[in-house]
A and B are shown apart, each in its own frame.
Chain A
């Protein structure tokens, strides 16, 4: 909850004199203030725990960002709501696990895979990422290309595909959650935080690298220039002689690639799970709705908000209501949409 209030205040001040400080907004600010004070007291009581939970939240946010950035990229440019994005995430984890299983020849009596080397981690990662990227391009070319502009129909097509993918995945992979093996030591010593999971730190690092790379691609390359132009005015870009179909393929490739990457990383940090598709579709939706459709900054802010809320609510909510933590996501959505119907960084499009 912590970073929420700063943002809301920022949004309120950005809206300027037009923004009325209504009862609802005031109520929201008071709740946020209480949450911050509550978390502050807890933080003072146990700084190590607080640092750990914050880091947990941020690494979770990193995972969320990688998934949601692909979703928002595809939506921003092509207006395609890819309902199969969660399935891409799940398939990414499954493919990597299956490839790794082949490479490591696990002891059949053991439930876990043996520790991977760098090669036996990177090869499954790369195979999985590019398989998902190609799957994305295939879906775009076969099913979506000739439906351009028919947003609802495209969403329905990807929904239908997601059912098929989910069912086939359960058939091939089974219902038990499995972990992808990583080539690093389980945890390392950090200042203040103490012992902390290495995979989570790597995940956070990868997310930052992905974020920087995306910003550079969007702001510095020709591809990014066309994407930015396409988000604003697709017809004009086409009229200027740009082959936007190629750019669409590129965007779908990149978006699916990111979902696959996140699936592998999520499978390494947490597990590969058959219900991940719905969960990560929801996460992508919430982040993109909160942050604003098509906005990379919005995806980052939304991911951090959601990651921190998830992580703080797990630990700091009183035991009696900790099961209702998901309601916080609900209220995040409600409050943001009440103040900014197009999300924090979104524009009416």
Chain B
């Protein structure tokens, strides 16, 4: 077993290496690969948070990400959208998070009464409805999206200083990661996991199952909202296509590549996805049909390894130390029963 202290050291090492990457890579790579992976990873983390601790696969997370992005776009000065406010970007971002969490709580209170595959279907329906709303309501989304959304001044220019937004994203991702790890060990987090493992027993013990689940969904909405806000800071534009059913599925793909049960897998999956997406576009044979190629990759992962890349890592690791422990770290299976605590 790797000791907890070593885990910490490795973690700190990874963050330090990540922080100096902009000095190594070009501006393009920093922005289009690294920053994009961090933001998508953060969105995927909100999905994995619910999957690993709650045993839920939610397809509404990208919709919530879009709610945050569109709220920012409508509240500040931008091309398209409501155009009636010209709020300070920080205030707008804060309000966007509040709105996202409120929408998340509303969806959560309804969805938290369902389980497994029903939850997946209900959240997908909500996600698509959010997208349709922004697509139809052009007073909120402009024609062809909201463009030229102002950024916080401290981030400088997107072209010249891509490392600033990268560092901001990195810092927030680290904080969210630590926050989720911490949350998993709080009484509330333990109760949430208890509900995943045995709902009737938790109810019998007097826990308010619906309340706990709803609040947890609100937390996940907050994380998705953070990713949505960072996305418009980085990208300065958002359109209904950002949260279309295709991207929803690709976000799920990121979470699956990373393995649905490890929070850090979110960023591993996002990095792999972003690199694949970028590289495949320049391959002659694939070219325009990059979605087909990604779909095939996704299909292969689902068919071959339900645990994703982190699952492969875990099963290798557990094979290596099988003699020492029978805790069955590499339980795969259909994923409806999430096996391990994220912070194990």
Using a CB–CB cutoff of 8 Å, the interface residues on chain A facing chain B are: 79, 81, 143, 147, 149-153, 155-157, 159-164, 166-168, 171, 277-278, 281-282, 285-286, 288-289, 293, 323-327, 329-330, 333-334, 337-338, 341
Contact = CB atoms under 8 A, between A and B. Distances in A.
Interface in B123-161: 124-126, 128-129, 132-133, 136-139
A86 to B, nearest CB: 9
Closest 5 CB pairs of A and B: A150-B334, A163-B295, A160-B299, A167-B291, A164-B295
A199 to B, nearest CB: 25
B33 interface: no
Interface residues of B, number: 46
A172 to B, nearest CB: 11
Contact of A153 (B126, B291, B302): B302
Interface in B243-278: 244-246, 249, 252-253, 256
Interface in B91-148: 106, 110-111, 113-114, 116-118, 120-122, 124-126, 128-129, 132-133, 136-139
B88 interface: no
B192 interface: no
B137 A324 contact: yes
A163 B110 contact: no
Interface in B296-344: 296, 298-299, 302-303, 306, 333-336
Contact of A81 (B120, B129, B249): B120
Contact of B118 (A149, A293, A326): A293
A138 to B, nearest CB: 14
Contact of B113 (A152, A160, A326, A341): A341
Contact of A171 (B122, B137, B289): B289
A166 B244 CA distance: 13
Contacts of B335: 150, 152-153
Contact of A160 (B128, B244, B288, B295): B295
B336 A323 contact: no
Given A156-B256, A164-B299, A324-B133, A285 B121 contact: yes
B292 interface: yes
Contacts of B133: 324, 326-327, 330
B57 interface: yes
23 contacts: A81-B120, A150-B336, A152-B334, A157-B303, A160-B249, A163-B246, A163-B292, A163-B294, A167-B289, A278-B244, A278-B245, A281-B245, A282-B128, A289-B121, A324-B136, A325-B136, A326-B133, A330-B129, A333-B129, A334-B110, A337-B110, A337-B113, A341-B113
Given A159-B252, A278-B128, A149 B334 contact: yes
Given A157-B299, A160-B302, A323-B138, A152 B117 contact: yes
A150 B113 contact: no
A79 B295 CA distance: 23
Nearest to A325: B136
A23 to B, nearest CB: 15
Nearest to A161: B299
Given A167-B295, A333-B122, 9 more contacts: A151-B334, A157-B302, A160-B299, A163-B294, A164-B296, A171-B289, A324-B133, A326-B136, A341-B113
A195 B298 CA distance: 50
A326 B129 contact: yes
Contacts of B306: 153
B292 A168 contact: yes
A153 B334 contact: yes
B252 to A, nearest CB: 7
Contacts of A162: 249
B337 to A, nearest CB: 10
A338 B111 CA distance: 9
A329 B122 CA distance: 12
Contacts of A167: 289, 291-292, 295
A28 B232 CA distance: 36
A325 B249 CA distance: 25
Nearest to B116: A151
Given A152-B335, A326-B136, A285 B256 contact: no
Contact of B117 (A155, A168, A277, A330): A155
Nearest to B292: A167
Nearest to A164: B295
B117 A286 contact: no
Contacts of B120: 81, 152, 155
Contacts of B289: 167-168, 171
A153 B57 CA distance: 11
A329 B129 contact: yes
A333 B126 contact: yes
A171 B288 contact: yes
Contacts of A293: 118
Contact of A163 (B57, B114, B291): B291
